[in-house]
Amino acid sequence: MAETRKITFFIALTLFAQESTWNFYDNQVPALLRDHVASAALVGVLMGMDNLLGIFIQPWIGNRSDNTRTRWGRRIPYLAVGMPVAALLFLLLPWATSLTVLIVVMVAYALIMNTMRPLAEALTPDFIAPERRGRTNAVVKIAASLTIIVASLISLFVVDDHPRAAFAIPAAILLAVTLVLIAKVRDNESPGYRAAVAEDGTGEAGTPLRGVLADLVTSRDRRRVLLLLTVFLFGGAWFASRSLMTPYGMEALDLTRGEAGGLTLPSGVAFLVAAYPAALAAERFGRLRVIAIGMAVFAGALVAGTLTQSATGTIVALCVGAAGAAGFSINAAVALWNLAPSSRMLGAYTGLYPVTWYLGGFAGPALIGGAVDLLGWRWMLLATAVLAFLAVAVVLRLARLQRAHV
């Protein structure tokens, strides 16, 4: 138990360091871009480039690390090199003297950091037993969420007086945590790594990414496909509820832009409060059951928000919905890890989760936006709830398959 707490701390610390730079990047790099370009659309395209790169990079690096064997393990060697390089690139961002240089540094930083994120996350299934992964993932999610506060505080107290030096703070955190990780963690000692090496001894070659994807699509076991479909659908609902909330508040609730922009703030706290209990509930009642209930609570809260149609009612609905969403967010990745057919595929599956999530995040707001065009802003929350209920239907089908499989 003590060893589990120890490795949980180091995984959470690693993700905290990585997300500290990511959130500060999202806060301050748009301002750097505006020094060179006037188009808000171009700024948005450049800022979204990291998510596009992640779709291709994260499954690839996860799979590559799955097939890596060193005396330090399969994830740590990449993290030990990549995190310091990312810190250096992050330091260079405010020193870019032209748009071309800035874009080059942005792309390089996004490439490196997109390789680091799934490797750090994959340490959870490497080290933690399946029944305890939810707790670790909850702690990791909480640590990552706290970096939003860290980035905001640096922006508030440092950026105006020291715009370039401010970038050194997240970079220093990233470097310091790299040293701690190198000193304290060797994933060649993890149960996941030892299981993968044992599978190597059977004479079977490591599975390339195309083989992982082919197995996923052609296997008669449809549980993994259904879970990824759930992630896609609920990702669409979640991102729609966030990205369209400001115009919803302005159009449907007659709020100012600033008032509408603050509607989602309390729900962030509700998510953090619900994260760890969601992991404990999954251990007691079953992971898929908690995922289904959490998504149903999210959808039901949005239905209630449609009926109340007020600022206070919307804030309450979003808080209840975020608490329900924690049941999904904490447990869905864990469920996917536990369905991976081999320890030699944990990294690839770690990469597939965010790809599916962000594809949903791309499609969902567009779909719900289309519904708004047809029905009006009044029904935006209800349309989002319908998408979430579709995700509930899919995971209930998955639960039936799971019971039959057992």
User: How far is Cα 358 from Cα 143, in angstroms, rounded to an integer?
Assistant: 20
Biggest alpha carbon–alpha carbon distance for the chain: 66
> Which class does domain 209-401 fall in?
mainly alpha
pTM, to two decimals: 0.85
Whether 2-200 and 209-401 share one fold: the answer is: yes
Under-50 pLDDT residues of the chain = 203
Residue 56 DSSP symbol: H
Q: What pLDDT was estimated at residue 1?
A: 65
Q: In this predicted structure, what is the pLDDT of residue 406?
A: 61
- Tell me the C-alpha distance between 150 and 15, whole Å: 13
Sequence-distant (6+) residues with CB within 8 A of 353 are 228, 231, 332, 333, 336
Contact yes or no for 228/349 (Cβ under 8 A): no
Q: Map out the domains of the chain as residue ranges.
A: 2-200, 209-401
Q: Encode pLDDT of 4-59 as tens digits.
A: 889 999 999 999 999 899 888 887 888 888 888 877 668 877 877 777 788 889 99
pLDDT of residue 304: 96
Residue for token digits 């209630």? Answer: 304
pLDDT of res. 402: 87
Q: In terms of CATH, what superfamily is 2-200?
A: MFS general substrate transporter like domains (1.20.1250.20)
Closest C-alpha among 282, 288, 321 to residue 403: 288
Task: Give the Cβ contact number of residue 98 at 10 Å.
Answer: 9
Task: Please write the tens of the pLDDT for every residue from 277-313.
Answer: 999 999 999 999 999 999 999 999 999 999 998 999 9
Residue (of 147, 166, 164) closest to 156 by Cα position: 166
What's the pLDDT score for residue 180? Answer: 95
Under a CB-based contact definition with an 8 Å cutoff, are residues 4 and 67 in contact? no
Distance CA 341, CA 267 (A): 36
CA 346 – CA 239 distance, rounded (Å): 26
Torsion of CA 29, 31, 32, 34, to 10 degrees: 130
pLDDT recorded at residue 202: 58
Contacts of residue 31, Cβ cutoff 8 Å, sequence gap at least 6 = none
Report pLDDT for 78. 95
Q: Tell me, what's the pLDDT at 343?
A: 83
d(CA 40, CA 246): 17
User: What is the model's pLDDT at position 197?
Assistant: 86
Mark residue 203 as left, alpha or beta (left: phi above 0; alpha: psi -120 to 50; beta: remaining). Answer: left
